[in-house]
């Protein structure tokens, strides 16, 4: 690994078997997921694409150990999600960045280490802030940053603890189109080699970031199609081969439920 | 270029006397003082109003005495403030870590908050003797409940993803409290402390009414009894000024902690909405049992003398099973009925006037610029400090008492309703405007529904406030009703009657609070379902 390369290069395969999630908060049970079988290859980035409300976030939250499956199992290597969180070996990025507003960028990134019960490492924190392109903003508060910069800081916080599994829940969903393009181009190199699972409703984003795309059906979520994206990085949105993949994902999505296509875009 | 900016640049050719906002304020204050002095001179000899000159003279002549009294009151208020808020923080932490206890603990906290200070004061006085204990305890009792509610709101006003973040590293509720909730709650704590600061002064003064050796409360009693108008006004203004200063000081702290201070409704409408009526009744029964057990057990544990520290059984004997129970009940209920007759009209009038004026201000926004600062300032003044003035002005009859209750309710309601009216979503207002809807219809259809949560929060917090106001007024001035009965029985050592009165008043307050909460839920289910979601 080059001295300036990505800080983590170990990943684990994730497998879901007969996975079901039923929400029953109001006495009116809603099946959000499954039964669903899926595997996520070690060291690869897999994107989950599906119409709004199809249950893809629930799937991600179960893998993160934030929700318990109603039935079925999730294994990360040989471990359960809870085992992994107990070792603080996974990290999750949220749509709203989830930076604590009273902490500076540096301190927010440092939180990734302290929550993972790892010793503080100023040099490593500095290096990650530099890698996500926030050098010089160490002492700024989140309120002083643009949406894209906040997401960069959140990604740095995820990576600082060298997680074995990276979960991204529409991390660039709330930033503008131009910023989003730039983040899609710059950031994937940072977690190359780590197993990453990305939830998105953007077909383009899935094609830009992932090695493989799983297209989910409307609720309850099941896997409708798998599309490999064997293209080199960094990728270019206007590249013909990528356009071809984007069209394939969009077609699979259209087949998954005609009336959901508008919501999906 | 917009018109006002251009105008300002174009005008200086003509020399104009520029009157800045500061100058206006000074002029306003001077005008107010002049009007006050004139009114005092016109009413000279009626023993109602002391003018600014008389107040100033009295203040200078008795500067030493007033200074010592003020220092005593402030020191006690500060201790009470400290203990009360520490208790609130402790309770909030327990509730957060053991959420199951929330309903029980909040209900008990409310019940204790509803204990009439007028009665607990004398009892504490017996327990403590002549020292500063009662003042400090009463100040603590006056502050802990509002701080607890502010903290409970603040500790939960946290985005879900911040908590998920902590959980995704396998960390639990403790880490969430440490890393996320504690800091996120700081602005709410500061807002709670701001409300608590004047309340602590109020509590300390009520404690001093019960026979302390020094303090502003002692001077108040002395001045009221001697019909010394100058002294009464001077002390009331001094106490009110201190309360306002404390309120503003904590307001400044709040602005440092939070760039955008939270609009604190206090008293979130609570969870437990889907419970059936039967479980609700069971919950209430459990609560009453726990309260009775704490009452009995607490007194036994502290080894309090049963001469003045009556147990639940004593009250039962006195009111129900004892030989003269019927006559005891008659005395108590007569005083109680008298008090209710003052409290209800005052409470309802205060609510109606507060909400009404808030609506009027919204219809004529120019009014807000004038009324709002005054209302915010006066909200911070604990009514007890001004009660003697109102009694002087309105007499010892029913009008005076009802007015004191109404004023006590009016200002918090006004401020809360103005905040609520501003919560109406801008988009909705814009839609109304795009149909050229009149101000009146916009108010009724869009703003008033948005105001309801704030109104009901004020109505609920108004219950203990109204009871405090009416019992204090009856005690200090009118000599009627249950406040007076409590004062009388305290001085004649009729502790059975005193404890009976305390029980009745606390139960009434808790019931009234529950009733308002019921109405609130029924209304909010239609107009503000999001308020009930949490």
> Whose structure tokens read 């990604």?
A155
Question: Taking residues A12-39, what's their average pLDDT?
Answer: 83
pLDDT value at A38 more than 80: yes
Residues B215 and B282 reside in one and the same domain: no
Range of the domain at B138: 50-264
State the pLDDT at residue B493. 82
In this structure, of A223-232, B88-97, B422-431, the range with the lowest mean pLDDT score is B422-431
- Fold designation for A14-89+165-264: Rossmann fold (3.40.50)
Residues in chain A: 265
Nearest chain A Cα to B167, which residue?
A66
Tokens 């190359």 appear where? Answer: A192
Chain A, residues 10-69, CB within 8 A of chain B, namely: 61, 64-66
The two structure tokens encoding residue B249: 């000081």
Chain B residue numbers touching A61 (CB-CB < 8 A): 164
Q: Do B168 and A65 touch (CB under 8 A)?
A: yes
Among B518, B419, B393, smallest CA distance to B463 is for B518
Q: Is B76 within 8 Å of B215 (Cβ atoms)?
A: yes
Is B445:B431 a contact under the CB 8 Å cutoff?
no
User: pLDDT tens digits, residue range B415-465?
Assistant: 788 777 777 777 777 777 777 777 777 777 777 787 888 888 888 888 888
**How far is Cα B368 from Cα B377, in angstroms, rounded to an integer?**
14
Q: Report the pLDDT value the prediction gives residue B273, as an integer from 0 to 100.
A: 40
Interface test with B, best of A92, A109, A158, A165 (most B CBs within 10 A): A92
- pLDDT for B186 beyond 70: yes
* Separation of alpha carbons A264 and B140, rounded Å: 57
User: How far is the C-alpha of B214 from the C-alpha of B259, rounded, in Å?
Assistant: 40
Contacts of B373 (CB under 8 A, 6+ apart): none
What pLDDT, on the 0 to 100 scale, is given for residue B262? 59
Q: Give the A window 88-107 contacts with B, CB below 8 Å.
A: 88, 90-92, 94-96, 98, 100, 102
- Confirm whether B32 is domain-assigned: no
Q: Is residue B41 a contact partner of residue B53, using CB atoms and an 8 Å limit?
A: no
CB-CB contact of A256 with A216 (8 Å): yes
ipTM for the complex shown: 0.85
Q: What is the pLDDT of residue B278?
A: 54
Q: What is the mean pLDDT of residues A212-239?
A: 84
Average of per-residue pLDDT across B146-150? 85
Min Cα distance B510 → chain A (Å) is: 30
B452 vs A238, B68, B167, B362, B449, CA distance in Å?
A: 54, 45, 36, 15, 5
Distance to chain A for B276, nearest Cα, Å = 14
Do B179 and A116 lie within an 8 Å CB cutoff?
Answer: no
Whether A85 sits inside 8 A of B179 (CB atoms) is no
Cβ neighbours of B161 in A, within 8 Å: 94-96, 98
Same domain for B223 and B282, yes or no, is no
Residue-level pLDDT at B84: 94
Provide the pLDDT confidence category of residue B2 given band limits of 50, 70 and 90: very low
- By the CB < 8 Å criterion, does B183 face chain A? yes
The mean-pLDDT minimum among B302-316, B396-410, B519-533 falls in B519-533
Distance CA B225, CA B396 (A): 13
What band does B86 get if pLDDT is binned at 50, 70 and 90?
Answer: very high
pLDDT (0 to 100) of residue A11: 67
Structure tokens belonging to residue B211 = 């026979």
How far does A86 lie from chain B, in Å, by closest CA? Answer: 5
User: Is B237 found in the same domain as B349?
Assistant: no
- Are B335 and B228 within one domain? no
User: Going by C-beta distance under 8 Å and a sequence separation of 6 or more, which residues neighbour residue B276?
Assistant: none
Residues 252-291 of B with CB under 8 A from A: none
What is the percent of chain A where pLDDT is above 70?
91
Among B264, B288, B316, identify where a domain stops.
B264
* Distance (Å, whole) CA A208 – CA A185: 7
**Domain identity same for B136 and B232:** yes
pLDDT attached to residue B378: 67
Environment class of B172 (CB within 10 Å of its CB; exposed 0-12, middle 13-18, buried 19+) = exposed
The tokens of B456 are what? 């009901």
CA atoms of B520 and B453, how far apart (whole Å): 8
HSE-up of A138 (CA within 13 Å, CB side)? 14
Is the model's pLDDT at A186 over the cut of 70? yes
Give the residue-averaged pLDDT of B235-252.
84
Residue A10 is predicted with a pLDDT of: 59
With bands split at pLDDT 50, 70 and 90, how would you rate the model's confidence at B259? Answer: low
In a shared domain, residues B204 and B351: no
Supply B92's token pair.
Answer: 């909030």
Delimit the domains of chain A by residue range: 14-89+165-264, 98-162
C-alpha to C-alpha distance for B358 and B417, rounded to whole angstroms: 6
- Best of A61, A95, A115, A156 to substitute, by most chain B Cβ atoms within 10 angstroms, is A115
Q: Which of A76, A93, A94, A165 would you mutate first to test chain B, the one with the most B CBs within 10 A?
A: A94
pLDDT band of residue B323 (cuts 50, 70, 90) is confident
Residue B286 — very low, low, confident or very high, per pLDDT cuts 50/70/90? Answer: confident
Average confidence (pLDDT) over B162-175:
88
Same domain (yes/no): B367, B509: yes
Instruction: Work out the number of other CB atoms within 10 angstroms of the CB of residue B96.
Output: 21
What is the pLDDT, as a whole number, of residue B88? 92
**Cα torsion B315, B316, B322, B325: sign:** positive
Highest average pLDDT, of A193-197, B34-38, B207-211, B419-423, comes from A193-197
| Per-residue model confidence (pLDDT) at position B74 | 92
The beta-strand segments (E) located in B395-435 are none
Instruction: Evaluate if residue B10 carries a pLDDT over 70.
Output: no
Please indicate, yes or no, whether residues B464 and B444 belong to a single structural domain of this protein. Answer: yes
- CB nearest to B159's CB, from A65, A86, A96: A96
Which residues in chain B are closer than 8 Å to A102, comparing Cβ atoms?
Answer: 183
User: Mean of the pLDDT values across residues A82-87?
Assistant: 86
Neighbouring residues of A190: CB distance < 8 A, sequence distance ≥ 6? A6, A131, A132, A155, A159
Percent of chain B at pLDDT > 90 equals: 6
Q: Pick the residue of B166, B167, B170, B275 with the most A CBs within 10 A to test the interface with A by mutation.
A: B170
Q: Which residue from A minimizes the CA distance to B274?
A: A26
Please determine, for residue B82, whether its predicted confidence score (pLDDT) is greater than 90.
yes
Give mean pLDDT, residues B397-409: 83
Position B270 in a domain: no
A85 vs B159, B161, B169: nearest CB:
B169
Q: Is residue B3 part of a domain?
A: no
| Interchain pair A66, B167: CB under 8 A | yes
What number is the average pLDDT over the span B257-265?
60
Q: What number of residues does chain B have?
A: 534
Q: Looking at the structure, do residues B286 and B254 belong to the same domain, yes or no?
A: no
CB B236 within 8 A of CB B49: no
Strands A45-49 and A195-200: parallel
Q: Transcribe chain A into DSSP letters.
A: --TTS-S------EEEEEEEEEE-SSSS-EEEEEEEEEEE-TT-EEEEE--TTSSHHHHHHHHTTSS--SEEEEEETTB-HHHHHHTT-EEEE-TTTT--TTS-HHHHHHHHHHHTT----HHHHHHHHHHTT-TT-TT--GGGS-HHHHHHHHHHHHHHT--SEEEEESTTTTS-HHHHHHHHHHSGGGGTTSEEEEEES-HHHHHHH-SEEEEEPSSSB-EEEEEE----SS--TT-HHHHHHHHHHHHHHHHT-GGGHHHH-
Cα–chain center distance at A6: 17
Q: How far is B249 from chain A (nearest CA, A)?
A: 23
Question: What is the greatest pairwise CA distance in chain A?
Answer: 55
pLDDT digits (tens, 9 = 90+) for B453-467: 888 888 888 888 888
Q: pLDDT by residue (tens digit) across A102-149?
A: 888 999 999 988 888 888 888 889 988 888 888 889 888 888 888 888
Q: With beta carbons less than 8 A apart as the criterion, state whether B471 and B339 touch.
A: yes
Mean pLDDT value across chain B:
79
pLDDT confidence tier of residue B472, bands split at 50, 70 and 90: confident
Chain B residues in contact with A161 by the CB 8 A cut-off are 169
Distance CA B339, CA A150 (A): 59
Q: Does A76 touch chain B (CB under 8 A)?
A: no
pLDDT in the model for residue B271: 41
**pLDDT band (50, 70, 90) for residue B83:** very high
If phi > 0 it is left, if psi is from -120 to 50 it is alpha, else beta; for residue A191 that is alpha
Tokens of A4: 């300036």
B345, B249: one domain: no
Q: Is it the case that residue B56 has pLDDT exceeding 80?
A: yes
CB A111 within 8 A of CB A153: no
> B449 and B335: one domain?
yes
Q: Is B224 helix (H, G, I), strand (E, B) or coil?
A: helix
* Residue of B162, B165, B532 to mutate for A, most A C-beta atoms under 10 A: B165
Domain count, chain B: 3
Does B165 sit within 8 Å of A98, measured CB to CB? yes
Q: Which of B264, B289, B316 is the last residue of a domain?
A: B264
- Give the position of tokens 């007499």: B395
Q: Say which range, A117-126, B22-31, B33-42, B220-229, has the weakest mean pLDDT.
A: B22-31
| Mean pLDDT (whole number) for B107-132 | 83
Predicted local distance difference test score (pLDDT) of residue B80: 93
B31 falls in which pLDDT band (50, 70, 90)?
confident
Percentages of chain B per state (helix, strand, coil), in multiples of 5: 80, 0, 20
Q: What is the domain-level CATH number for residue B146?
A: 1.10.3720.10
CB burial of A179-214 (b: ≥16 within 10 Å; e: otherwise) equals bbbebbbbbbebbbbbbbbbbbbbbbbbbbbbbbbb
Dmax of chain B from CA atoms? Answer: 92
Residues B299 and B314 in one domain: no
Residue B269 lies in a domain: no
Of A221, A194, A216, A203, nearest to A72 (Cα)? A221
Tens digit of each residue's pLDDT (9 = 90 or more) over B377-391: 666 666 666 677 777
Q: Is residue B29 part of a domain?
A: no
- Give the separation between CA B404 and CA B392, rounded to whole angstroms: 12
C-beta separation of B151 from B92 below 8 A: yes
Is B169 within 8 Å of A88 when comparing Cβ atoms?
A: yes
Q: What percent of chain B has pLDDT over 70?
A: 84
**Mean pLDDT value across chain A:** 83
Report yes or no: A98 and B162 within 8 Å, Cβ to Cβ: yes
pLDDT of B495 above 50: yes
pLDDT at B189 over 70: yes
The Cα–Cα gap between A134 and B226 comes to 72
Distance between alpha carbon B115 and the CA centroid of its chain, in Å?
Answer: 14
């Amino acid at each position: 690994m080059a001295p300036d390369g990505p800080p983590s290069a170990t990943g684990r395969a994730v497998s879901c078997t007969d996975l079901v999630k039923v929400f029953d908060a109001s006495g009116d049970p809603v099946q959000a997921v499954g039964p669903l079988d899926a595997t996520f290859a070690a060291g690869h980035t897999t994107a989950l694409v599906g119409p709004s409300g199809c249950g893809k976030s629930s799937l991600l939250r179960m893998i993160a150990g934030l929700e318990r499956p109603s039935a079925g199992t999730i294994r990360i290597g040989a471990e359960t999600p809870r085992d992994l969180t107990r070792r603080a070996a996974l990290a999750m990025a949220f749509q709203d960045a989830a930076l604590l507003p009273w902490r500076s960028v540096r301190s927010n990134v440092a939180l990734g280490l302290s929550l993972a019960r790892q010793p503080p490492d100023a040099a490593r924190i500095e290096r990650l802030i530099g890698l996500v392109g926030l050098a010089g903003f160490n002492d700024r508060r989140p309120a002083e940053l643009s949406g894209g910069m906040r997401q960069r800081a959140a990604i740095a916080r995820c990576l600082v603890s060298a997680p074995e599994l990276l979960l991204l829940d529409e991390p660039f969903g709330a930033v503008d189109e131009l910023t989003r393009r730039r983040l899609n181009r710059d950031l994937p190199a940072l977690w190359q080699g780590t197993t990453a699972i990305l939830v998105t409703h953007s077909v383009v984003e899935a094609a830009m970031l992932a090695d493989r795309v799983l297209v989910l059906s409307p609720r309850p979520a099941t896997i409708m199609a798998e599309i490999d994206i064997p293209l080199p990085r960094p990728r270019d949105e206007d590249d013909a081969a990528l356009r071809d993949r984007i069209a394939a994902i969009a077609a699979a999505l259209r087949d998954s439920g005609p009336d959901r296509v508008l919501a999906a875009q | 270029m917009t018109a006002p900016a251009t105008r300002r640049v174009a005008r200086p050719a003509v020399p104009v006397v520029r009157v800045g906002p500061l100058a206006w304020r000074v002029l306003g204050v001077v005008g107010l003082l002049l009007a006050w002095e004139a009114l005092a001179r016109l009413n000279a000899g009626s023993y109602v109003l002391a003018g600014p000159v008389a107040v100033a003279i009295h203040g200078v002549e008795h500067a030493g005495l007033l200074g010592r009294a003020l220092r005593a009151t402030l020191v006690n208020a500060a201790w009470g403030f400290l203990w009360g808020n520490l208790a609130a923080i402790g309770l909030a932490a327990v509730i957060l870590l053991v959420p199951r206890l929330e309903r029980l603990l909040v209900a008990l906290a409310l019940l204790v908050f509803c204990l009439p200070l007028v009665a607990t004061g004398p009892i504490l006085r017996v327990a403590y003797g002549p020292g500063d204990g009662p003042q400090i305890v009463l100040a603590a009792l006056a502050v802990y409940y509002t701080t607890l509610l502010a903290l409970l709101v603040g500790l939960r006003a946290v985005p879900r993803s911040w908590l998920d973040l902590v959980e995704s590293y396998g960390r639990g509720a403790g880490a969430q409290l440490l890393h996320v909730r504690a800091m996120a709650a700081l602005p709410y704590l500061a807002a709670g402390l701001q409300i608590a600061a004047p309340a602590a002064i109020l509590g300390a003064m009520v404690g001093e009414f019960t026979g302390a050796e020094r303090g502003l409360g002692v001077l108040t009693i002395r001045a009221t009894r001697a019909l010394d108008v100058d002294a009464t006004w001077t002390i009331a203004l001094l106490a009110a000024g201190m309360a306002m200063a404390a309120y503003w000081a904590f307001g400044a702290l709040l602005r440092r902690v939070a760039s955008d201070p939270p609009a604190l409704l206090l008293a979130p409408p609570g969870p437990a909405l889907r419970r059936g009526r039967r479980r609700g009744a069971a919950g209430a029964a459990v609560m009453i049992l726990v309260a009775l057990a704490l009452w009995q057990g607490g007194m036994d544990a502290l080894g309090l003398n049963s001469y003045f520290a009556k147990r639940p059984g004593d009250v039962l004997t006195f009111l129900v099973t004892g030989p003269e129970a019927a006559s005891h009940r008659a005395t108590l209920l007569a005083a109680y009925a008298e008090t209710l007759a003052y409290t209800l009209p005052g409470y309802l009038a205060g609510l109606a006037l507060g909400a009404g004026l808030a609506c009027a201000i919204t219809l004529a926004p120019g009014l807000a610029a004038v009324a709002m600062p005054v209302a915010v300032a006066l909200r911070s003044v604990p009514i007890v400090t001004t009660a003697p003035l109102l009694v002087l002005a309105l007499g010892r009859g029913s009008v005076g008492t009802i007015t004191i209750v109404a004023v006590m309710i009016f200002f918090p309601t006004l401020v809360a309703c103005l905040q609520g009216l501003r919560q109406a979503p801008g988009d909705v207002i814009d839609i109304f405007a795009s149909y050229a809807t009149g101000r009146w219809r916009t108010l009724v259809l869009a703003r008033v529904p948005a105001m309801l949560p704030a109104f009901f929060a004020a109505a609920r917090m108004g219950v203990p406030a109204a009871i405090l106001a009416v019992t204090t007024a009856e005690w200090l001035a009118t000599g009627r009703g249950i406040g007076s009965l409590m004062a009388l029985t305290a001085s004649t050592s009729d502790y059975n009657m005193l404890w009976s009165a305390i029980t009745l008043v606390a139960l009434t307050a808790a019931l009234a609070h529950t009733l308002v909460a019921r109405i609130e839920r029924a209304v909010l289910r239609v107009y503000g379902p999001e308020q009930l979601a949490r």
